[in-house]
Amino acid sequence: MLTPVVLGALAVLLAGPLPWLLSRWTDLRRTPAAAMLLWQSTALAAVLAALGAGLSLATDRLWAPPVAPADVVVAALAGAVTAVVLARLLLSGHRTGTALRRLRRRHRERVDLVARVSGGVSVLEHDLPVAYCVPGMTGSRIVVSRSTVRSLAPAELEAVLEHERSHLRARHDLVLEAFAALHLAFPRWVASEAARREVEVLVEVLADRAACRSGDRRALLGALLALAGSPAPAGSLGSAGSALAARVEVLRDTRPHRVQAAAVVALAATILAVPTLLVVLPWLAGLA
């Protein structure tokens, strides 16, 4: 009887309080790669724990004779809830994936029709500064406007391009997609919005880091200043602070944080491994 309770409690903890805490631990962004690992392992462990709680409740009731009618009802309910959770996840993943792929393909096709390609970068003839990437399995694009090319110094432009190339190389789009799907599947009751927002900041921080490795921070900061859009009303971006402010904060900090990185990676591994070792293995052994 212990397994479903432990897994259920774990699922609740990983889906609510832990992401909530992590999203408030802003220093976590100083080790963005480790932080990204932690967010992914938390989300994965939460899903696995939730599914495991339902399944183990069902088997607990059915595998230990005598099986009373009440046991069958409980097992059926647990099984049904588990199936709903799994179906929601799969459906949401499918919907998010197809919608994003369609939008990106349509956008990419039109970019290819109007943009001049220069050095592997698609340039749109427009007076507003913009720089973005269109990720895609079958062909990604880095797009900038003519205004961006004109207004940035060569080193700044290179920093922007390296930032975008890093997004594409590291397939940040897939990570964002996974968290978007998670949020679509469970928009309430779990801290999926906080997780999604934080992961969005982290991919930018990671791409900024990559741009700084090959270029210099000055160029990247200069490009950010030149391309930052029209001022949004103060505070409109929520109390957690804006993504841009977070990026600047991380860019200012050049000290290595090896201890924090190691600790965060260890935490990420623990979150995934401990429930598996302590709970799921004995449960599976009990079934056999």
- The residues of the shown chain that bind other proteins, judged by CB under 8 A, are 99-100, 103-104, 107, 109-114, 124-126, 128, 130-135, 143, 145, 160, 163-164, 167, 172-173, 176-177, 180, 200, 203, 217-218, 221-225, 227-237, 242-245, 248-249, 251-252
Q: Which is nearer to other proteins, 3 or 192 (CB)?
A: 192
Q: Name the amino acid, one letter, at 84.
A: V
Q: Which is nearer to other proteins, 242 or 276 (CB)?
A: 242
Q: Name the amino acid, one letter, at 202.
A: L
Q: How far is the CB of 130 from other proteins (least distance, A)?
A: 5
Q: 124 and 146 in contact (C-beta within 8 Å)? A: yes
Q: Which is nearer to other proteins, 44 or 248 (CB)?
A: 248
**Close Cβ partners of 189 (under 8 Å, ≥ 6 residues apart):** 15, 16
Q: How far is the CB of 137 from other proteins (least distance, A)?
A: 14
Q: Which is nearer to other proteins, 16 or 222 (CB)?
A: 222
What does the alpha-carbon distance between residue 48 and residue 105 come to, in Å, rounded to a whole number? 32
Q: Which is nearer to other proteins, 6 or 248 (CB)?
A: 248
Quick one: which of 170, 167, 164, 171 has its CA closest to 148? 164
Q: How far is the CB of 34 from other proteins (least distance, A)?
A: 22
Q: How far is the CB of 185 from other proteins (least distance, A)?
A: 16
Residue labelled with tokens 């393909």: 105
At residue 201's C-alpha, the angle toward residues 200 and 207, to 5°, is: 95
Residue labelled with tokens 């801290």: 191
Q: Which is nearer to other proteins, 113 or 259 (CB)?
A: 113
Ramachandran category for residue 245: left, alpha or beta (phi over 0 → left; psi -120 to 50 → alpha):
alpha
Containing 117, the helix (H) or strand (E) segment is strand 116-118
Helix (H, G, I), strand (E, B) or coil at 13: helix
Q: How far is the CB of 249 from other proteins (least distance, A)?
A: 8
Q: How far is the CB of 92 from other proteins (least distance, A)?
A: 14
